[in-house]
Amino acid sequence: MRDRIVAFLVLLPSLVAVGIFVYGFIGQNLWVSLTDWGKNPAQALALRPELHFVGLENYRELFTGFVDVRFRQSVVNLIFFTLFFMGGSLGLGLLLAMALDRGPKGEGLFRTVFLFPMALSFVVTGTIWRWLLQPQGGINVLPTLFGLLPFHFPWLTTRQQTWVFDWNQLPFYTALAVGLTLLYVAWKAHQEGERKRLFWSLLSSGVLLVWAFTLGRTTHLLPYPEPHGFSLALVGVILAAVWQMSGYTMALYLAGLRGIPVEVLEAAKVDGASEWQTYRHVILPLLAPITLSAMIVLGHIALKIFDLIFAMAGLDYAPTDVPAIYMYLLAFRGNQFAKGAAIGILLLLLVALVVIPYLVSQLRKEVRR
């Protein structure tokens, strides 16, 4: 009992500090996002601004307002950036780790070389890669070293988009994606024989899919079509980000590979597994927890990305916009504090979506132990 009191007293200062400076301010930010701060210029920067509660108006404007088209493109950019960045870093990191795991000559040197970019800040990485991606230099003239013609891709300055879709179809695609995921969960549950989970996931998936193909097709967020897509200017940013973070995933995977007991690998060999089969059925499943934690770390970096894009393309270039940049523009240039706060809350929710399931599963594991 006394131990508990002492422990509580020791923890108290940090609890209070975290309570005020983290949760208190999150709460304040949430409140600001529900007000009209910034709508009236006379109140925007007054010494004691008068704020009025407007409910979810700021959020509604962000997703369906005429002038916030840039926010919607930034969300699309963020999703593509996160997917490619995570995929690229994990894939490249795993390949590098597998190569180094075979113990080539100078392994220590290569390990350092691959890990080194992580020591740089995103601003430095961004500046270097901006130079490398200049249309008339850097990467584009690389082929001329081998007597080939230079590339002509304008990297960061292109305005091209691919996979263009109409924003109005967002409800349809969201319902479709979530429905199909739930269907997959149901299939898994079926395999594992968990009948309760099978029932619920099958039911909710069914409802979502039915909605998507009936009402979902006619639900329109905007009265006019608004095309959004994957901006090719992001390819350069993704390259730089993968370059920076793949060393980190390599280190994680390398530790994981080294941690696999030799007995398991030998047992697989005795059973007559080919190299590919060993990877597919023995090594990769054992690396799954590492992949998960790497995804969490990379995912939250990707969702909060600001500095890399700031350094590579600046704040004013919409094709590489992400919500964090638009938030800065709205709040600190346009004095639209409430709308900026709303974007902040949306980003928090996105990161929470990634982190909280992970934390919950970790906690459960600990309790089980």
Partner 1 sequence: MEVGMRKWLLAIGVALGLSALAQTGKLEIFSWWAGDEGPALEALIRLYKQKYPGVEVINATVTGGAGVNAKAVLKTRMLGGDPPDTFQVHAGQELIGTWVVADRMEDLTSLFRQGGWLQAFPKGLIDLLSYKRGIWSVPVNIHRSNVMWYIPAKLKEWGVTPPKTWAEFLATCQTLKRKGLEAPLALGENWTQQHLWESVALATLGADGWNNLWSGKLKFTDPKAVAVWETFGKVLDCANKDAAGLSWQQAVDRVVQGKAAFNIMGDWAAGYMSTTLKLKPGVDFAWAPSPGTQGIFMMLSDSFGLPKGAKNRQNAINWLKLVGSKEGQDTFNPLKGSISARLDSDPAKYNAYGQAAMKDWKSNRIVGSLVHGAVAPESFMSQFGTVMEIFLQSRNPQAAANAAQAIANQVGLGR
- Count of residues engaged in binding partner 1, rule: CB under 8 A: 33
Select from 35-43, 143-151, 164-172, 205-213 the region that touches partner 1 (CB under 8 A): 35-43
Position 70 contacts partner 1 (CB under 8 A): yes
Computed over its alpha carbons, how large is the radius of gyration of the chain? 25
Position 159 contacts partner 1 (CB under 8 A): yes
Choice from 157, 204, 278, 291 touching partner 1 (CB under 8 A): 157
Tokens 């989970």 — which residue? 197
Near partner 1 in 247-266, by CB under 8 A: none
298 close to 86: Cβ distance less than 8 angstroms: yes
Closer Cβ to partner 1, 49 or 87, answer by number: 49
Choice from 252, 329, 342, 346 touching partner 1 (CB under 8 A): 329
CA distance 13 to 19: 10
Closer Cβ to partner 1, 11 or 164, answer by number: 164
Which alpha helices (DSSP H) does 260-336 contain, by range?
262-270, 275-278, 284-303, 307-313, 323-328
- Cα angle value 86/168/58 (rounded, 5°): 80
Three-class HEC string of 93-156:
HHHHHHHHHCCCCCHHHHHHHHHHHHHCCHHHHHHHHHHHCCCCCHHHHHHHHHCCCCCCCCHH
Choice from 22, 45, 56, 356 touching partner 1 (CB under 8 A): 45
How many Cα atoms sit within 13 Å of 243 on the Cβ side?
17
Position 317 contacts partner 1 (CB under 8 A): yes
Q: Among residues 225, 203, 216, which one has the least CA distance to residue 176?
A: 216
Position 334 contacts partner 1 (CB under 8 A): yes
Closer Cβ to partner 1, 131 or 184, answer by number: 131
Per-residue binding letters, 47-66, with partner 1 (x by CB under 8 A): x------------------x
Select from 94-102, 181-189, 196-204, 325-333 the region that touches partner 1 (CB under 8 A): 325-333
Position 335 contacts partner 1 (CB under 8 A): yes
Phi and psi (nearest 5°) for 214?
-105, -85
Q: How far is the CB of 314 from partner 1 (least distance, A)?
A: 6
Q: Which residues bind partner 1 (CB under 8 A)?
A: 38, 41-47, 66-67, 69-70, 134-135, 154, 156-157, 159, 313-319, 328-330, 332-336
